[in-house]
């Protein structure tokens, strides 16, 4: 059944060869895919800073009844004679271990937050490093503030120059740079997470930055996890008209013209392979289109299988509320309810990671 649905959508193949491939061959194809995604959709990321520095601004080692240390840290990137700083918060359990950790791209800096049950995450043995996306650059057409001001400095944006999603993703990688300086984190178990526009950002981050062992997108929808061809709810035309600054200028060529995209969003999921990717959907999130998010997992599975790994383990039907598919390198669940990053979503992410990484 699903094979027919994918055929009807007219998806572009990720890989022409039907044969098993080596990891070197895949890395070559993967870098072509990343170029394509940056060139046509998100824009190329800001250049690497000449220098990075970190400063702990505040510390509370009695957070969560004394179980957790919460620090506020300033991350500063130096580009020639320009500097840019943004705050990040680290919540790390107080035990004597190396903790697996989330880098969480959030809408707010608050801890805990409605999207972010800090104590429960830490009680489950995970640390969490979070930042507020608008501390990196504003969520609007202003390209003169934050990191956008450093990159563009008043210049116009053109063609494949980065949009805001790329900049938020850049910041998630800088948080990973900071994580590398901490001795109580397990760097082999780093997971990037985001919801909605920040779920799109988490997927891009996972694709571009191989230090993340899993990228988790919640309700990321259009230009995130969801297949664009044949998608219901939000289409490229809607998203580009409302949020042109999230993307590069080239993306507008595909408004009402999805069939000419030289890829579809399953390429983004596959670009994370052989590392893991997780897609979470909510039944009533029709704007994001849960069926299209699910079909993307089905289509991306091909790459894992050609590499000799388990891809997406699922039945041959569309998803239902309560489906939890945690057996493969592509993890998935669909819960009831609306567009939201709920505690229920976090508990599924945690269960998947515990199972897959033997945490």
Contact between 197 and ligand GCU per CB under 6 A: yes
Interface map 59-98 toward ligand GCU (x if CB under 6 A): ----------------------------------------
Least distance between ligand GCU and beta carbon 68 (Å): 28
**Burial (CB count <10 Å: 0-12, 13-18, 19+), residue 156:** exposed
Window 214 to 233, contacts with ligand GCU (CB under 6 A): 221-222
102: CB partners within 8 A, 6+ apart: 121, 126, 127, 128, 129, 130, 191, 192, 193
Pick the binder of ligand GCU from 209, 234, 258, 293 (CB under 6 A). 234
Least distance between ligand GCU and beta carbon 203 (Å): 12
Least distance between ligand GCU and beta carbon 90 (Å): 25
Least distance between ligand GCU and beta carbon 163 (Å): 13
Least distance between ligand GCU and beta carbon 70 (Å): 26
Least distance between ligand GCU and beta carbon 287 (Å): 6
Interface map 277-316 toward ligand GCU (x if CB under 6 A): ----------x-----------------------------
HEC assignment per residue over the chain: CHHHHHHHHCCCCCCCCCCCCCHHHHHHHHHHHHHHHHHHHHCECCCCCCEEEEEEEEEEEEHHHHCEEEEEEEEEEEECCEEEEEEEEEEEECCCCCEEEEEEEECCCCCCECCECHHHHHHCCCEEEEEEHHHCCCCCCCCCCHHHHHHHCCCCCCCCECCHHHHHHHHHHHHHHHHCCCCCEEEEEEEEEEECHHHHHHHHHHHHCCCCCEEEEECCCCCCCCCCCCCCCCCHHHHHHHCHHHCCHHHHHHCCCHHHCCCCHHHHHHCCCCCEEEEEEECCCCCCCHHHHHHHHHHHHHHHHHCCCCCCCCCCCCCCCCCEECCCCEEEEEECCCCCCCHHHHHHHHHHHHHHHCC
Compare residues 69 and 196 and give the one whose CB is closer to ligand GCU. Answer: 196
Compare residues 190 and 341 and give the one whose CB is closer to ligand GCU. Answer: 341
4: CB partners within 8 A, 6+ apart: none
Compare residues 231 and 306 and give the one whose CB is closer to ligand GCU. Answer: 231
Least distance between ligand GCU and beta carbon 320 (Å): 23
Sign for the pseudo-dihedral over CA of 150, 204, 227, 258: positive
Contact between 148 and ligand GCU per CB under 6 A: no
Interface map 157-196 toward ligand GCU (x if CB under 6 A): ---------------------------------------x
Window 99 to 138, contacts with ligand GCU (CB under 6 A): none
With beta carbons less than 8 A apart as the criterion, state whether 46 and 147 touch: yes
Compare residues 118 and 228 and give the one whose CB is closer to ligand GCU. Answer: 228
Least distance between ligand GCU and beta carbon 51 (Å): 32
Pick the binder of ligand GCU from 75, 128, 182, 239 (CB under 6 A). 239
Compare residues 75 and 192 and give the one whose CB is closer to ligand GCU. Answer: 192
Compare residues 221 and 311 and give the one whose CB is closer to ligand GCU. Answer: 221
Strands 127-132 and 82-93: antiparallel
Give CA–CA dist 308/313, Å, rounded.
14
Least distance between ligand GCU and beta carbon 12 (Å): 22
Compare residues 277 and 341 and give the one whose CB is closer to ligand GCU. Answer: 341
Contact between 235 and ligand GCU per CB under 6 A: no
Interface with ligand GCU (CB under 6 A), residue total: 7
Compare residues 21 and 286 and give the one whose CB is closer to ligand GCU. Answer: 286
| Residues lying near ligand GCU in the complex (CB under 6 A) | 196-197, 221-222, 234, 239, 287
């Amino acid at each position: 059944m699903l094979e027919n649905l994918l055929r009807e959508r007219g998806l572009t193949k990720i890989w022409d060869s039907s044969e098993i491939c080596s990891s070197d061959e895949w890395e070559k194809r993967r870098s072509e895919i990343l170029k394509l995604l940056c060139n046509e959709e998100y824009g190329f990321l800001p250049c690497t800073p000449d220098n990075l520095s970190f400063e702990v601004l505040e510390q509370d080692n009695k957070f969560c009844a004394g179980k957790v240390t919460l620090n506020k840290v300033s991350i500063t990137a130096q580009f020639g004679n320009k500097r840019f700083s943004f705050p990040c918060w680290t919540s790390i359990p107080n035990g004597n271990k190396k903790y697996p950790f989330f880098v969480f791209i959030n809408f707010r800096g608050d801890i805990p937050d409605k999207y972010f049950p800090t104590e429960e995450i830490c009680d489950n043995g995970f640390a969490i490093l979070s930042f507020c996306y608008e501390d990196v650059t504003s969520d609007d057409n202003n390209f003169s503030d934050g990191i956008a001001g450093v990159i563009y400095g008043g210049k116009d944006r053109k063609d494949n120059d980065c949009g805001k999603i790329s900049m938020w993703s850049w910041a998630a990688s800088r948080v990973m740079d900071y994580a590398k300086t901490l001795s109580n984190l397990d760097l082999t178990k780093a997971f990037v997470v985001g919801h909605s526009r920040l779920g799109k950002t988490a997927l891009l981050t996972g694709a571009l930055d191989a230090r993340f062992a899993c990228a988790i997108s919640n309700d990321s929808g259009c230009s995130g996890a969801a297949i664009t061809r044949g998608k219901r709810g939000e289409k490229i035309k809607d998203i580009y008209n409302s949020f042109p600054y999230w993307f590069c200028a080239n993306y507008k060529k595909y408004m009402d013209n999805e069939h000419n995209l030289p890829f579809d969003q399953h390429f983004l999921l596959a670009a994370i392979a052989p590392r893991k990717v997780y897609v979470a959907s909510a039944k009533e999130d029709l704007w994001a289109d849960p069926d299209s998010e699910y079909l993307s997992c089905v289509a991306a599975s091909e790459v894992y299988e050609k590499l000799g790994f388990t891809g997406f383990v699922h039945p041959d039907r569309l998803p239902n509320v309560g489906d939890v598919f945690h057996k493969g390198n592509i993890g998935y669940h669909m819960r009831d309810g609306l567009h939201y990053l709920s505690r229920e979503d976090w508990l599924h992410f945690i269960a998947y990671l515990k199972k897959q990484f033997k945490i």
